[in-house]
């Protein structure tokens, strides 16, 4: 049993965008309640920044996770926010050292690793393993859950859920970027959408029984490269100006916030994008993850759901329609709106979820708030590893179904 305490010591393995989002939330809401004491990160500039900002001793700055894991436990909590492939070894090693863990999703990249993680976690029942399924903490989805739980609309019959990736985000992350190839990271439905499957479990308060899935890589493949007009890099391409996926267009628009390139001159463009993976033609990359996928799910009690994920959207958001016995709920992100129609009263109510917070519409901050309140006060936390395992297994079986032409997979 964890003991309630006034201040939490924290270590971070992998100081990327997700770690910084959580650190910013900690500083905003819990300054003085936490202390960052160790970091494992290969980037020397990031090492210096975090060392100076948080006054971390030099001996507690590590070049990688291996060096960090050689040390005895250095803090109460460790945050694992590295690339997906590293999560299993880091989780296994750090759990055994006694750390409570904040673990970024996906928790692992194979179904065998996920099952093993569940087995390992069961051996350490007094250690908190918080999985970053931040949608469970979302102001939008928690309000939807609240509406469902009133039972005014009766039981859920079926759900339509969509994750709209956005064409420019997709080509940045899943064609040119680190999640482009399932051999190096994981399938799209796992890397991008394991927490969408998790939110369906959360909203239905149910378990999935069967799953089937269909989808392909349709657009962003070498067969669509025109040798006469196109070039390996956007800067040399004859049709760059009319291509919606042009790296020059996307990165000069500042739609992508995670990387910034100086594109102020032709020389600068050639320097920063001319030989960069982010400057490559989308039809000449080594990507293999699908660009659209449709999944159907049967839950306990006869509830059914469809889940669609697509690169071919103008917006980056989620939309959902929940059809119940006596009414329906429609909701969307950006703007964060919920519309509830009651069939009995024939009345429709609208809820506008006020949020100015970035990071999944305030979900990142709510995740940290919920974690800290649970940790500081020895309370309950609702996105643990045990709750995350099922959504990951759903993702793996959906991908298996997709590869096998939509064969229905039983979830046991």
Yes or no: domain 138-218+289-358+385-410 corresponds to CATH 3.40.50.150: no
Mean pLDDT for 163-184 is: 95
Residue 248 phi, psi (nearest 5): -60, -45
Per-residue pLDDT of 236-259, as tens digits, reads 999 999 999 999 999 999 888 878
Helix (H, G, I), strand (E, B) or coil at 269: helix
Please say if the pLDDT value at position 355 is more than 80.
no
Neighbour count for residue 314 (Cβ, 10 Å):
9
Say yes or no to pLDDT of 193 above 60: yes
Domain range annotation of the chain: 8-127, 138-218+289-358+385-410, 222-279
CA distance 199 to 141: 8
Interatomic CA distance for residues 118 and 104, integer angstroms:
15
Residue 1 pLDDT grade (very low, low, confident, very high; cuts 50, 70, 90): very low
| Spatial distance between the Cα atoms of 299 and 305, rounded to a whole number of angstroms | 8
**Residue owning tokens 């005014």:** 152
- 53: pLDDT strictly greater than 70: yes
Predicted local confidence at residue 378, as pLDDT: 83
Section 179-189 average pLDDT: 92
The pLDDT mean for the chain works out to 94
pTM over 0.85: yes
Q: Looking at residue 3, what is its pLDDT?
A: 54
Crossing angle for the helix pair 385-403 and 194-204, to the nearest 10 degrees: 120
Is 215 a residue whose pLDDT tops 60? yes
Check residue 62 and give its pLDDT: 97
> Where does the pLDDT of residue 356 fall: very low under 50, low under 70, confident under 90, or very high at 90 and above?
low
With a pLDDT cut of 90, the percent of the chain lying above it is: 86
Write out pLDDT tens, residues 31-41.
999 999 999 99
Looking at residue 185, its pLDDT comes to 87
Structure tokens at 33: 């309640």
Residue range 12-32, pLDDT digits in tens: 999 988 999 999 999 999 999
Name the CATH superfamily, with its identifier, for domain 8-127: NAD(P)-binding Rossmann-like Domain (3.40.50.720)
């Amino acid at each position: 049993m964890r003991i309630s305490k006034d201040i939490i010591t924290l270590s971070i393995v992998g100081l990327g965008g997700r770690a910084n989002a959580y650190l910013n939330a900690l500083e905003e809401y819990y300054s003085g309640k936490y202390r960052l004491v160790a970091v494992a990160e290969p980037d020397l500039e990031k090492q210096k920044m975090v060392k100076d900002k948080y006054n971390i001793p030099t001996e507690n700055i590590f070049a990688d996770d291996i060096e960090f894991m050689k040390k005895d436990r250095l803090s109460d909590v460790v945050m694992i926010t590295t690339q997906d492939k590293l999560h299993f070894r880091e989780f296994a090693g750090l759990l055994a050292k006694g750390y409570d863990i904040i673990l970024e999703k996906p928790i692992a990249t194979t179904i065998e690793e996920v099952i093993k993680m569940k087995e390992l976690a069961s051996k350490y029942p007094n250690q908190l393993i918080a999985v970053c399924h931040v949608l469970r903490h979302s102001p939008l989805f928690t309000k939807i859950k609240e509406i469902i739980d009133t039972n005014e609309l009766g039981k859920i019959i079926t759900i339509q859920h969509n994750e709209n990736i956005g064409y420019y985000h997709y080509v940045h992350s899943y064609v040119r970027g680190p999640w482009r190839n399932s051999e190096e990271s994981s399938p799209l439905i796992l890397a991008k959408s394991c927490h969408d499957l998790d939110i369906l479990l959360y909203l239905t308060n149910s378990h999935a029984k069967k799953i089937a899935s269909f989808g392909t890589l349709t657009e962003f493949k070498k067969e669509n490269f025109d040798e006469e007009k196109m070039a390996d890099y956007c800067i040399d391409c004859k049709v760059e100006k009319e291509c919606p996926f042009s790296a020059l267009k996307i990165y000069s628009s500042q739609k992508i916030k995670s990387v910034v390139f100086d594109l102020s001159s032709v020389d600068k463009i050639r320097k920063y994008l001319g030989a960069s993976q982010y400057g490559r033609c989308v039809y000449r990359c080594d990507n293999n993850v699908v660009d659209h996928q449709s999944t159907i799910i049967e839950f306990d009690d006869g509830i059914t759901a469809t889940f669609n994920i697509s690169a071919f959207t103008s917006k980056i958001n989620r939309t959902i329609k929940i059809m119940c016995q006596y009414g329906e709920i429609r909701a969307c992100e950006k703007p964060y709106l919920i519309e509830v129609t009651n069939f009995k009263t024939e009345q429709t109510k609208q809820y506008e979820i006020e949020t100015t917070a970035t990071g999944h519409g305030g979900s990142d901050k709510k995740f940290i708030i919920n974690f800290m309140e649970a940790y500081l006060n020895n309370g309950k936390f609702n996105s643990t590893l045990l709750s995350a395992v099922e959504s990951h297994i759903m993702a793996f079986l959906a991908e298996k179904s997709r590869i096998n032409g939509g064969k229905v997979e039983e979830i046991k």
